[in-house]
Amino acid sequence: MGKTGKVYLVGAGPGDARLITLKGLDCLMKGDVVVYDRLANPSLLGKMKRGAEKIYVGKRTDRHTMKQEDINQLLVDLALTGKTVVRLKGGDPTIFGRVGEEAELLRKHGIPYEIVPGITAAISVPAYAGIPVTHRDMASSLSIITGHESPDKLDLSINWEKVTNATGTLVFMMGVAKIGYISKQLISYGRSPETPVALVRWGTRAEQETLTGTLVDIEQKVLEADFKPPAVIVVGEVVLQREQLKWAEFMPLFGKRILVTRSRAQASELVRQIEDLGGESYEFPVIDFEMPTGTALKETDEALSSLEEYDWTFFTSVNGVEFFFKHLERLGKDIRSLHKSRIAAVGPATKEALRRYGIAAEELPGRYQAEGLMEAFAGALQAGQKVLLPRGDLARTWLPETLREQGLAVTEAVMYATVPTGEEDDELVKLLREGRIHAVTFTSSSTVTNFLGAMKRMGFENPAETLQGTEIACIGPVTAKTAEEAGLHIGTLAEEATIDSLVTALCEWKKKEENID
């Protein structure tokens, strides 16, 4: 028998993917297989190492995908094959997470394991609704109570006489369906009918919703609002703090789940800005970039063999810059070979990428499209001059054709090949079918083409029709044209072809939606 693996019982936090701990993320990134449930943010699965297996064992109120006993045995079976197993659980695994049962069976089979605590929803979800569970003047103690049982079971597991007034704040986990019974019991055992109550649904996620009332009227409010689980119930005077302290709802992109289709290597800045503004990003990279091969690589080497002859070098993308320097290193060259060349960049991101390599590229006009090069340098471009265009294999032909029309000798050097990732994502399929992706961002024509192709692979016969109710946000007119030709309706277009401008446009879209509503 081979070496036994190890199991990490990891708390994923309440929902916001950034609330996982550093250790939890470290475990997730090294797992050979991840066993997860629906309360763990599915975007965390994007952090898994390449080739890792994922197994969904989540439970819903209407059905159980896998019994707890079977989950326990699954962890054992996987570890016995020598795999590093991550059991990813929503919130903290020790608070109603049944981690004790999982750990007990692992110990019985001699399988090493670690319990990695997570941020519990009992505290973090109220915090995202502006409710601190303790307060110097209102509550100095806290009880966390299960609410996800039938009334008979609740009476067996909860000593109502002691619990009702034991602490200033009571937090019930998963008790929405029993809110009427819980309220009646608390009132009958001495809590004032006017005690404030808050239910926070899907706290820290894009669907976060808060309903407040009192013990005497909260059941009726839940029925009227058709308020569904999962939710955390907070009972106590601390609920009154919400009106003063609520903050998440005021974030510019609160309540919006925005799909990012850029390559994983490029997506970080867009993801960061979306999340900093209160939105929830969902990464689904549809393209990747790699070195050219075969004939394309030979042609690239030939183009770079005479760098000292070029009068101009036009960089049109960050990728073009990054791969250009990879090729220089591969060929044993450095930037001194371009001593004769004037260097220009399309777009501030490309210019900044060059600056990181110590190159101050020449200025361009504000539109940041390839056409801007002609406006900026029309007077300096002379027939007979040699131009190098380091670019991707799918770059537009407009610029080289226009330069050639003016008599310049243009060499197009393919720095990288754009390839589809071929990824599929069951969680994304579910979100798209349920209309829970509120906006899709496209940052190039290739992201449009490859995303629609990925949708077809995942079972959507008519992607454009599926996306009719989803905001389509494009970084520039070229990308927007590709999307329109594919049947998509463009609702948001960045004024400039930059990530900053795209995010600003998304914020404006959210504002308009709120005004309409």
> Which residues pair with residue 210 across a beta bridge?
200
Amino acid identity, residue 388? L
From CA 164, how far away is CA 168, in angstroms rounded?
Answer: 9
Cα–Cα distance, 73 to 102 (Å, whole number) = 8
Say if residues 19 and 92 touch (Cβ distance below 8 Å). Answer: no
Query: What is the token pair recorded at 171?
Result: 């937090």
30 tagged catalytic:
no
Cβ neighbours for 70, distance < 8 A, ≥ 6 positions apart: none
Strand, coil or helix: 368: coil
Burial status of residue 296 (CB atoms within 10 A of its CB: 0-12, 13-18, 19 or more): middle
Tokens encoding 158: 């909860």
Catalytic residue among 23, 59, 333, 481: 59
Q: What's the CA gap between 233 and 174, in Å, rounded?
A: 8
What is the C-alpha to C-alpha distance for residues 238 and 222, in angstroms, rounded to an integer?
20
Task: State which amino acid sits at residue 168.
Answer: G
Cα–Cα distance, 401 to 403 (Å, whole number): 6
Exactly one of 32, 37, 288, 425 is catalytic; name it. Answer: 37
Backbone angles phi, psi at 504, to 5 degrees: -60, -40
Is 37 in the active site? yes
- List phi, psi (to 5°) of 268: -55, -40
Helix (H) or strand (E) holding 173: strand 169-173
- What amino acid occupies position 36? Y
Question: Which residues carry out catalysis?
Answer: 37, 59
